[in-house]
Structures are given as C-alpha cells and as structure tokens.
Amino acid sequence: MGRVSTSVHIKFNEYTGLKKSEAYNSIRNYLSSKSTSRAKRLKANEKRGSKSLVLSLDDHEAVEDVFNGVNVKWCSHVSKREEHSNASSGSEERRYFTLSFHMKHREMIIESYLDHVLREGRKIEFKNRERKLYTNSESHGWSFKEGKWCSVPFHHPATFETLAMDPEKKEWIKKELVKFIKGKDYYKKVGKPWKRGYLLFGPPGTGKSTMISAMANFLEYDVYDLELTTVKDNSDLKRLLLDTKRKSIIVIEDIDCSLGVTGQKRKKEEEEDQEEEDEEGKKKKASEKAFYKERERSRVTLSGLLNAIDGLWSACSDEKIMAFTTNFVENLDPALIRRGRMDNHIEMGYCRFEAFKVLAKNYLEVETHELYGEIERLVEEIDMSPADVAENLMPKSDEEDAEVCLMRLVKSLEEERENLRTLAEEEVKKKAEWEARKIKKKKKKADQEEKKKKADLEVKEKAADQEERK
C-alpha cells in the first residue's frame, strides 16, 4: 500500500475527442525503441506511410525506462469501448498508456522527461516514415480530400557518394547542409526564417536534378517538385507553398523556362545585338523569341514568385530548402538569384578528371587503369557532360569489362574532339566567307560611288565645256 500511494500515474489516451492524439503516437514510437531491447512481448504492424515493419509494445505489457537516474514505468492498456461513448472515435477498443513514477520526481518528469519522450518519439517517426515525392496538381483539380499535391514514394538512389563532382566542392556542400539542419537556434538568433535557397546551374546532363535527389537522401527530406506552368496565379502559388511540410526540398526545375523571369533582360540584349547579325543568327533569334513568348503566358509573375519564396508568408514554415535549376544562369533576373534569396549558387560543370574517377568507381569498380592518363588529358580538354561519360562507362553486356568501357569513352572523347575541330574550322571558314562578302559589298559600294562621282564630274566638265564654247 505504501508503495502504491507514493506513485504518480499519468494516462495518455489514443484519442482526444475525435482526433488521434499526437502525444500517444510519439509515446508509442518512443516506447517501441525501448521495447525492442527490453520488453518481452511486442507486436508487429505494417503501417501505412512507414518504410518498414513497426514494432511496438504489446497490449498489457510494461517496460521500464531510466531518465536522469530516475526509474519510470510505462504500461500499455486496452479496454472495451463503453456503450455510450462516441462511435466515431475510431475502433471498438480504447487504448492508452500509463506512466508511473515516484511522486518525489514529479516536477522533473513533467518538465523534462515528457518533453524528451515526445521529442524522441517524433524523431523516430520522422526516421521511419516513407519519404515522398510530391508534385502539384492543376489548380482547378484541388479538393479538400486530395489536396493540392499528389505524391508517390521517393526512392531515388542518388547519393553524394555516387555524385560525380569535385570532391572538395561536394564536402563543402555537405558540411553546409549539416550546418543548416542543426541551425534552428542560429537562424532564430539572427532573425532569419529557417530556410535556404540553392541555385543549381550548368549545361544539360551535368547532374543538377541528381544533386537535388542526393541532397534529399542525405537530409532525409521529402521533395516537392513544383511545376509553375500549371499554377494558375500568384495566390495559388502562395497556397501551394503554404501547404508544404517542414523538412522538405521545394524544387523548381528549369526556372528560366517556367515564367517570364528573363523578359526585360532579353529585350535589352536583343536591341544591342540588332546591328551585327547574319542570316542564321536572325533565324535563331526568331525561334528563341517564339519560345520566350510561349513561356511568358504563365500567370505566375516574377514578383509573385519572389513574394512567395521570400515575403512574409515564407516565414510561416520552417526547415525548408528551395532549389532552382537552370541551364542559362546568365539569363535570369538578378532579383531572383540575389544572395539571401538564393543563398548558394552551385555550378554543375562538365565532367573533369576528379568527377570521372567517381563515375569510373561507381560504374566499373576501378580506381586506376593505364588509360587514366589519356582520359585525364582528354576530359580536361573536351567538354563532355557526366551523363554522356556515364553512358559510355556503363557496360552494355556481360562480356564488356572495364577496359572495353574505358576504351569506348576514349574513342567517344576523341570523336568529340574531331567534331569540335571540324566545327571550329567550318566556323572559321564561314566567318571568312562572311568577311569576304562584307568586303566585296563594301568594295562594290565604293566602286559605285566612285563611278557616280566620275559621271557627275564628266557631266560637270561637259557643261563647263559647252559654256566655254558658247
């Protein structure tokens, strides 16, 4: 009796009213981590949205825990639902946990231990969840039930280990990401919303999208792939962004093609370029113009986008990364990519030797080879994207070994060099022809002027002659 009367019990119900209790969920997760090593009876569930089987404390089972040297005891209970209780509370059974401890620790348990349990439980749930790739549905298709985003499980295999790029740059990016996820207090201290913007730029096939997947896998974040062209207007964009969860990367791919963010800059360039232009240049400009015109139809404006990512609303949700990708960084409006908005500009370049070594290790499991010297010379000279290098390195059948694949890469690099040489020669030839034509035109014009001058002079002389004769 003495022992019982000195104990305090706290009850945590599975349901609070109609809603499933988040505290109960967190406690269950916390206890499952303790139970796997301590409890005698466990139950295994396949839970939706979780990546593996979830083990938890079985009904009517107890487990002990120690916190700051204090022993506590958790029990899981289940009782039949009473007749008059609310039918919509989910199931026939009522589940709850009880926490028991000595009353002299009441303050410490309530103030520190419970916080600790809830925090750890949430962490475990976050770790166990199946990560998702979201994409926005058309604005008119939004419904209360389906939401604004549709999702599929995110299983992209890219990691920083498989990403081919300069190792130092890679390490620096990883370090920065770690600093970001641990930076809650820092961001609060400096008065900035806890978010970070990345601009990834570079030619096609250099790993911009792969880098985003690697980041998401590294941070264990969800990914929101935002398709701006299907967003009706600025306020829908705002709503979409508000509907994203924390610990996620929001991606806008090919930002230069998504809305008229390059409009003003292009107009200026067009004016400047107008004078010196040959036929081919004119054709290219016309097709580019048509492309930009099509793109500018998007009703999301630059200022709308800036507002959504950077205005007051953006502060409503913490712990998010915003990533833009583009092939033409020089065409983007400076307002969009200024530091503070896009804090980090990462250039994804052509495949150089360091990046090649990563690819060779991943695709062929070789770290060195006699062809490496030649390949080093070639990749430092020729611009080839990691996607093309990877394609050459991938064995196409079981008979192909590392040497065959490396040889194929060397051949392909040499071909590329040859192509570039002929292209450059053609270019020089074309330029020379164009110059010659220009000189010819000038000469013709000068000749004509000369002729005209001569004719005028003759007429004048004739007139003077006649005058004299008269």
Ligand X SMILES: Nc1ncnc2c1ncn2[C@@H]1O[C@H](COP(=O)(O)OP(=O)(O)OP(=O)(O)O)[C@@H](O)[C@H]1O
Binding site for Mg ion (CB under 5 A): 208-209
Smallest distance from ligand X to CB 363, Å: 9
Smallest distance from Mg ion to CB 325, Å: 6
Q: Which is nearer to ligand X, 214 or 378 (CB)?
A: 214
Q: Which of 202, 161, 173 is nearest to 349 (CA)?
A: 202
Q: Which is nearer to Mg ion, 329 or 366 (CB)?
A: 329
Smallest distance from ligand X to CB 163, Å: 5
Q: Which is nearer to ligand X, 163 or 346 (CB)?
A: 163
Q: Which is nearer to ligand X, 39 or 323 (CB)?
A: 323
Q: Which is nearer to ligand X, 63 or 163 (CB)?
A: 163
- Selection from Mg ion, ligand X, none that 304 binds (CB < 5 to 8 A by kind) is none
Smallest distance from ligand X to CB 210, Å: 3
Smallest distance from ligand X to CB 372, Å: 18
The site for ligand X (CB under 6 A) is made up of 162-165, 204-210, 327, 348, 386-387, 390
Smallest distance from Mg ion to CB 347, Å: 14
Q: Which is nearer to ligand X, 39 or 261 (CB)?
A: 261
In this chain, which residue has its C-beta nearest to Mg ion? 209
Smallest distance from ligand X to CB 273, Å: 25
Distance spanning both ends of the chain, measured CA to CA: 152
- Burial grade of 213 (CB within 10 A; 0-12, 13-18, 19 or more): buried
- Selection from ligand X, Mg ion, none that 204 binds (CB < 5 to 8 A by kind) is ligand X
- Selection from ligand X, Mg ion, none that 390 binds (CB < 5 to 8 A by kind) is ligand X
- Selection from ligand X, Mg ion, none that 57 binds (CB < 5 to 8 A by kind) is none
- Selection from ligand X, Mg ion, none that 207 binds (CB < 5 to 8 A by kind) is ligand X
- Selection from Mg ion, ligand X, none that 223 binds (CB < 5 to 8 A by kind) is none
- Selection from ligand X, Mg ion, none that 210 binds (CB < 5 to 8 A by kind) is ligand X
Q: Which of 196, 172, 174 is nearest to 183 (CA)?
A: 196
Q: How far is CA 25 from CA 31, 57, 93, 108, 182, in A?
A: 10, 12, 16, 22, 25
Contact status, residue 109 vs residue 86, Cβ threshold 8 Å: no
Q: Which is nearer to ligand X, 56 or 162 (CB)?
A: 162
